[in-house]
Structure 1
Amino acid sequence: MLDEIISQLKDKKSTKRRSAAKKLRKLKSIDAGSYLLIALEEEIKDSRTWETQYQMIMALGESNFKPALSFLKSLVKHNFEATMIYVAIGDSIQRLSMQNEQDITSVFEAIKTGNDMLVSGAIRAMAMLKIVPDDDSIENIINYAIVQKKNDGINFWILAAAPGWSGQKVQEYLGYCSTSKRDEIINAVELARKNKYKKWFPL
């Protein structure tokens, strides 16, 4: 089955290649990593297939194929018209760069770039992986989010990560976000206050 999916990465149709990447993303097979990386290096040449590129990048991260890290980091400076690709890059770099279960160095590296989509991806991975950073890191992330004012995308994923967090700063942040008029933000605040993680299914 794995061999069939891998061979599909070379299909002439982008929809077929994208379907293969989605399947590999679900399988999380590190054995497919080198084939995914080769496919992505070719796919990245065609800006029209950004959705396929997105899925390949996500599959590399979720497969924990660490040899892809340097290539993904090189894409940070690439000029993508479809900015959703940066979300996938940020997400996968966070997954592949972790040195321990609290490591969110890549989140702060993303913040330094000023690319909100990259930051959103890194924070999304933090939420999906239920990472509980150290207190200083939590405070720095919250401070960053507040400076961004009402960036609902970033606030949402910080809230999705927050059920395992504690402390006065976290409670103040939840209060800050509770004034939002968006239902998904309010629901995420309520889950965080109850210390309940939800299983999210991002694109």
Structure 2
Amino acid sequence: MAKVLKESIEDLKLLLESSKAPERRKAAKLIGEFEVVELGDVLYQAYLKESKNLKAWETQCIMIKALGKIKYENVLQELSSIIENNIIHDMITNEATLAFTRIKRENKNDIIPILELLKEGNLSVLNGALKSLAFDDVVPEIKDIYKLIDAVNLKQTLIKEQHKVGVFDPREYLLSAMSKWDRKDPEISSFIEECFKDEYLGKRHNLIEKVSKGKKVYAE
């Protein structure tokens, strides 16, 4: 049974304006989950206020995620600034990149924004860009899939240098997305096979096994 939003627009506005961070986070989560686009401006202003508090990274991440889900274009300038800083290990950068990708793409299967982000991105940018593939069940055209594989392969040295325990390897998100793609395609199957041989990913037997069976690994 589909979830139903119990809170009214006015309730959500009041929660966003609350002095209590958990209530602000609750409002942002609901706005994103139920795509309450009517509250885009209010959420944006709440985020701008929240962004001044360096300790409020968790609330900022939730608000950024929600702004991405409702495709709120006015936040693109702030997201671009975060992405340009290109911090290697940073959750805000990760979420900003995911939101940026969702807002900029022409349709769900458009990966042009992802390809652009992969060119200069460090690990957090790569994770944010590629997890949009897994979370949103993106199925690009085959020619775009080949471009994506090539782009990720070009970043393999950087990924291995910047990856550390407790942080996702962005290739995991690409593999998860591949569970819904044509895994019989030579380039796709070759990428999966190479990941199986990888020093880190090769130990993720459950990941590779699920992908090989067409099972989605990561969901939002």
Structure 2 counterpart of 1:144, from 135, 154, 158: 154
The within-5 A match list for 1:97-108 is 97-108=104-115
1:2 aligned partner: 9
State whether residues 86 and 124 of structure 2, in contact with CA within 8 Å, keep that contact through their aligned partners in structure 1: no
What TM-score does the superposition give when structure 1 sets the normalisation length? Answer: 0.85
Matching of residue 172 in structure 1 with residue 190 in structure 2: yes
- Cα drift, residue 81 of structure 1: 10
Do the aligned residues in 1 keep the contact of 2:118 with 2:152 (CA within 8 Å)? no
Compute the displacement of 1:126 (Å): 1.7
Provide closer, same or farther for how the CA distance between residues 35 and 19 of structure 1 changes in structure 2, counting only shifts above 3 A: same
CA contact (8 A) 1:47 1:80 kept: no
| Cα distance, 1:177 vs structure 2 | 1.8
Are 2:196 and 1:196 aligned?
Answer: no
- What CA deviation, in whole Å up to 9, does each residue of 1:102-135 have, x standing for no partner? 3222223322333210220111112111112323
Say whether residues 1:33 and 2:19 are aligned partners. Answer: no
TM-score under structure 2 length normalisation = 0.79
Contact 1:177/1:185, CA 8 A, preserved across alignment: no
Which aligned pairs between 1:107-146 and structure 2 lie closer than 5 A? 107-133=114-140, 134-146=144-156
8 Å CA contact 1:98, 1:104 repeated in 2? yes
- Residues 26-79 of structure 1: per-residue CA shift (max 9 Å, x gap): 222111211111111111111010100000000111122233323322332358
Aligned length: 201
Unmatched runs of 5 consecutive residues or more in structure 1: none
Taking only aligned residues, the RMSD between alpha carbons, in angstroms, comes to 2.6
Given candidates 160, 170, 178, the residue that maps to 1:154 is 170
Q: Hey, what does 2:206 align to over in structure 1? A: 187
1:87 maps to 2:94: yes
The Cα of 1:4 is off from its aligned counterpart by 0.8
Alpha-carbon spacing, 1:27–1:47, altered in 2? closer, same or farther (3 Å): same
Is the partner of 1:12 in helix, strand or coil?
coil
Contact map agreement 1:9 1:17 (CA 8 A) in 2: yes
Contact 2:31 2:37 in 1 (8 A): no
Partners of 2:159 and 2:94 lie apart in 1 by: 20
Residues 89, 123 of structure 2: 8 Å contact kept: no
Is there any run of 5+ residues in structure 2 with no aligned partner, and where? 1-7
Provide the identity percentage.
25
